[in-house]
C-alpha cells in the first residue's frame, strides 16, 4: 500500500529572525488512490505541506514517509531521483519548460528516467491525447492558453507513472471551463491509473470534486472530512 | 536533450544572446587588433633595427662579442662566404672588419668606428647606398671612405677632404691611413651618426694589418622565423669551438628588454580589457541566473539533478562564448588584414622622433593565425570560467525559495 504519512511535522521559516511556524505538528495519512484536497486560508501551510511531502523542503521536526520511504533520511540527490520516479508535481503557474514543445515537456522526465525513445514518444502522445491536446503536441507553452498549459503540466506530472501527484493550486490561474475540464481529466486518471492526487487549493470547484478534504489552520490539521464520490 | 535545451535557451531571448555575443565579439576584435598592432609594430621595429646594421644572425670568432677586439678577427675562407649554400634561408653573407680608431683632421680628433665592408653585399641588407646624403657610394676596393655626417661635422670635414685614421691593428700593429671622403652618410640614430666610417673591406683589412681577416659575418635573412633553421644549420656546419653564432636577441639585449618592458605594460592594458570584458559577460550571466531562478527550482523539483542543470546552463554560456569568439575572429580578419596592408602611419613630432632614430614611423598589423586564435581562446576561457558561476548558484539553490521568487 503506497501511502503518505506525516507525524508531528513542524516547519519553521526564518528561525533566526522572525520565526514563522508554517507547519505546527501535522499528522496525516493519505492512502493509495485518494483524491484529497488540502484547504485552508492563505498562510495556513498548504503549500509547505505539499513541499515537505514532495521532498522539496525538509521538516524541522517530525517524520514524513512517502510510499514507505523516509523523506528526511534521503540525500538531496536521492530525493531528486525519488521525485523523478514516484512523485509528479503540478504547479499553480504551470511551470513548463518554455523552450520545449508540449510533447517534449511531457517526455522530459521520462528522458531523465532513461526510458527508450519509442516508449517516451508513445506515452507522451497518449497522455496529451488523454488531456485533449492531440492537436497541440508540437506547440510551445507560449503558444498555448493557460488551461492548455496546465493540462500539459498534468500530462508531464503523469508521464513517469508516479505513485503520487502533488498539485499546488492547480486551478488558481484557470477560468471555470478550463478548471472543470482539468478536474475531469485528473479525476479520470485517478480512477483509471490509481494515482493518488493531493491538491492544495482554495478553489471551491476543486473542493467540491475532492473525496477527502483536509483543512489546515495555522499549520495544523483542523478537520479531516472523507466524502463519497 | 540537455544540449537541445541549452541550444534552445540561447535563442529564447534573442536580444540578450545578441548583446552577449556582441560583447564577446567586440572583446575579441579589440584584443586581436591591439595585439596585432603591438606585435606588428615591434616586428617592424626589430626588422628595421636588425637590418639597419646587425642582421638577424652573426658569426664571429669564439669570444669576439664579449671583447669586440680586432685580435679576434678570423680568416675569411671561401666556405664561410658560401654559408648560404648550407642554409637556403641565408640570403646574403656580409663580411665585415670592425674596430675603433681615432679620426683626425688638422687639430680635431674624434673616436670613430671603422668598418670594412663589401659595398654591394652591405647595401643588400642595410641599404647603405640610400643613406648617402652627399657624394657617392663605395666601389669594391677603392681607397676611399664613407663618413657619417656627425663625424664629418665634428671634424669639420666635407666631401673630397681627407680623413686620417689611427688605431691599433691586428696583434698590435700600428694602423694608420688617410682616405678621401667619397660620400657622407646620414643615420637617423645620433649614436651611429657620430661614429661610423666605412671603408671597402680590403682597404680596411690593410689598414688594420689584417689582410684576409674579418671580425664578423652578418647574415641577411628574410624574416625572424628563418633564424631557427639557420642557427641549426650553422651549428652543424661550423666548428663551434672556433666560431660563435649569435642571433639578434643575444646581440641586442637592450632591444629585447625594451620589448619585454613594453609587453609587460601591455599586459596591464590587456588585464583591464579582459576585466571589462569579464564584467560585461558576468553581468549577462548574473542577470540570466537571477531571471531563471524560478525555472531552475522547477526543473530540480521535477527530477533534474543539479549537475545536469548546471551542465545545461554551462553549455548555454559556452555556446554563447563560442559563437561570440568565432564571430570575433571573423570580424577581426578583415580589420587586421586592412591594417596589415595599410599600416598606421604617424606624422608630426612623433614621426620625426622615430625617423631620427632610424625607424619608419609606421605600425603595420601583424597578420598571423595565432593572434586571432589566442585572443579568441582567451576570451572563450574567461567566458567558460564565468560560466561556472551559475553552476555554483545552482548547487546552492534552495528549491522552495527559488520557486517563491
Q: Is B303 in the A-facing interface, judged by CB distances under 8 Å?
A: yes
B303/A80 Cβ within 8 A: yes
Nearest-Cα distance to chain B for A228, in Å, is: 32
A91/B5 Cβ within 8 A: no
Query: Which positions in chain B touch A111 (Cβ < 8 Å)?
Result: 1
- Per-residue pLDDT at A187: 86
C-alpha span between A179 and B103 (Å, rounded): 109
Domain membership of residue A134 as a residue range: 4-226
Q: How confident is the model at residue A130 (pLDDT cuts 50, 70, 90)?
A: confident
Nearest-Cα distance to chain A for B328, in Å, is: 27
Q: How confident is the model at residue B400 (pLDDT cuts 50, 70, 90)?
A: confident
Q: How confident is the model at residue B148 (pLDDT cuts 50, 70, 90)?
A: very high
ipTM of the complex: 0.83
Mean pLDDT of B106-121: 92
Cβ–Cβ < 8 Å for A157, A197: no
Q: How many domains is chain A built from?
A: 1
Nearest to A112 among B295, B303, B400 (CB): B303
Query: Which positions in chain A touch B303 (Cβ < 8 Å)?
Result: 80-81, 83-84, 109, 112-113, 160
Cα atoms found within 13 Å of the Cα of residue B26, Cβ hemisphere only: 11
Residue B204 scores a pLDDT above 80: yes
Query: Which positions in chain B touch A84 (Cβ < 8 Å)?
Result: 302-303
A70-97 tens-digit pLDDT = 888 888 889 888 888 889 888 877 788 8
DSSP string, A145-180: -HHHHHHHHHHHHHTT--SEEEEESTTTTS-HHHHH
The CATH number that applies at residue A19 is 3.40.50.300
Coil vs helix vs strand at A60 = coil
Nearest to B298 among A80, A95, A104 (CB): A95
Residue B243 scores a pLDDT above 90: yes
Residue B175, φ and ψ in degrees, nearest 5: -110, 120
C-alpha span between B141 and B132 (Å, rounded): 18
Question: What are the angstrom distances between the C-alpha of B286 and each of B279, B301, B315, B323?
Answer: 10, 22, 15, 19
A133-158 tens-digit pLDDT = 889 999 999 999 888 898 898 889 88
Amino acid at each position: 500500500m503506497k501511502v503518505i504519512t506525516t507525524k508531528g511535522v513542524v516547519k519553521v521559516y526564518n528561525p533566526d529572525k522572525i520565526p514563522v511556524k508554517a507547519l505546527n505538528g501535522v499528522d496525516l495519512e493519505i492512502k493509495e488512490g485518494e483524491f484529497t484536497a488540502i484547504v485552508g486560508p492563505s498562510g495556513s501551510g498548504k503549500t509547505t505541506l505539499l513541499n515537505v511531502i514532495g521532498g522539496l523542503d525538509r521538516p524541522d521536526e517530525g517524520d514524513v514517509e512517502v510510499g514507505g520511504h523516509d523523506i528526511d533520511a534521503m540525500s538531496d540527490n536521492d530525493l531528486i531521483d525519488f521525485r523523478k520516479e514516484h512523485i509528479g508535481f503540478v504547479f499553480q503557474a504551470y511551470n513548463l519548460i518554455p523552450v520545449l514543445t508540449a510533447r517534449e515537456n511531457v517526455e522530459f522526465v521520462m528522458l531523465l528516467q532513461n526510458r527508450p525513445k519509442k516508449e517516451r514518444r508513445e506515452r507522451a502522445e497518449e497522455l496529451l491525447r488523454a488531456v485533449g491536446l492531440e492537436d497541440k503536441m508540437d506547440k510551445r507553452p507560449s503558444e498555448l492558453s493557460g488551461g492548455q498549459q496546465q493540462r500539459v503540466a498534468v500530462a508531464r506530472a503523469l508521464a513517469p507513472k508516479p505513485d503520487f501527484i502533488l498539485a499546488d493550486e492547480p486551478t488558481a490561474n484557470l477560468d471555470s471551463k478550463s478548471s472543470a475540464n482539468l478536474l475531469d481529466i485528473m479525476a479520470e486518471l485517478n480512477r483509471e491509473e490509481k494515482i493518488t492526487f493531493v491538491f492544495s487549493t482554495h478553489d471551491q470547484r476543486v473542493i467540491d470534486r475532492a473525496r477527502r478534504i483536509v483543512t489546515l489552520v495555522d499549520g495544523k490539521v483542523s478537520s479531516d472530512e472523507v466524502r463519497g464520490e | 536533450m540537455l544540449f537541445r535545451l541549452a541550444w534552445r535557451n540561447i535563442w529564447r531571448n534573442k536580444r540578450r544572446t545578441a548583446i552577449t555575443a556582441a560583447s564577446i565579439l567586440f572583446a575579441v576584435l579589440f584584443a586581436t587588433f591591439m595585439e596585432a598592432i603591438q606585435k606588428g609594430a615591434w616586428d617592424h621595429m626589430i626588422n628595421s633595427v636588425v637590418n639597419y646594421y646587425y642582421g638577424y644572425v652573426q658569426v664571429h670568432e669564439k669570444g669576439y662579442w664579449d671583447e669586440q677586439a680586432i685580435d679576434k678577427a678570423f680568416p675569411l675562407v671561401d666556405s664561410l662566404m658560401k654559408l648560404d649554400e648550407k642554409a637556403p634561408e641565408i640570403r646574403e653573407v656580409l663580411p665585415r672588419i670592425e674596430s675603433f680608431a681615432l679620426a683626425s683632421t688638422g687639430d680635431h680628433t674624434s673616436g670613430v668606428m671603422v668598418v670594412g665592408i663589401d659595398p654591394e653585399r652591405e647595401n643588400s641588407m642595410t641599404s647603405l647606398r640610400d643613406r648617402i646624403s652627399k657624394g657617392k657610394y663605395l666601389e669594391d676596393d677603392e681607397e676611399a671612405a664613407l663618413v657619417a655626417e656627425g663625424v664629418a661635422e665634428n671634424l669639420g670635414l666635407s666631401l673630397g677632404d681627407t680623413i686620417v685614421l689611427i688605431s691599433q691593428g691586428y696583434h698590435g700593429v700600428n694602423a694608420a691611413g688617410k682616405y678621401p671622403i667619397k660620400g657622407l652618410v646620414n643615420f637617423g640614430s645620433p649614436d651611429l651618426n657620430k661614429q661610423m666610417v666605412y671603408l671597402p673591406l680590403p682597404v680596411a683589412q690593410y689598414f688594420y694589418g689584417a689582410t684576409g681577416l674579418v671580425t664578423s659575418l652578418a647574415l641577411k635573412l628574410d624574416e625572424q622565423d628563418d633564424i631557427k633553421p639557420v642557427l641549426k644549420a650553422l651549428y652543424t656546419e661550423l666548428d663551434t669551438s672556433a666560431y660563435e653564432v649569435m642571433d639578434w636577441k643575444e646581440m641586442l639585449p637592450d632591444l629585447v628588454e625594451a620589448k619585454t618592458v613594453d609587453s609587460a605594460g601591455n599586459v596591464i592594458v590587456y588585464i583591464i580589457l579582459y576585466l571589462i570584458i569579464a564584467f560585461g559577460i558576468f553581468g549577462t550571466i548574473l542577470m540570466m541566473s537571477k531571471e531563471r531562478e524560478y525555472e531552475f527550482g522547477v526543473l530540480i523539483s521535477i527530477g533534474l539533478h543539479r549537475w545536469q542543470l548546471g551542465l545545461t546552463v554551462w553549455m548555454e554560456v559556452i555556446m554563447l562564448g563560442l559563437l561570440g569568439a568565432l564571430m570575433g575572429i571573423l570580424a577581426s580578419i578583415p580589420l587586421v588584414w586592412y591594417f596589415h596592408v595599410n599600416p598606421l602611419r604617424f606624422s608630426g613630432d612623433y614621426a620625426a622622433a622615430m625617423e631620427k632614430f632610424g625607424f619608419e614611423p609606421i605600425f603595420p598589423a601583424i597578420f598571423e593565425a595565432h593572434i586571432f586564435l589566442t585572443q579568441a581562446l582567451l576570451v572563450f576561457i574567461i567566458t567558460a570560467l564565468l560560466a561556472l558561476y551559475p553552476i555554483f548558484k545552482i548547487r546552492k539553490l534552495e528549491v522552495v525559495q527559488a520557486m517563491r521568487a
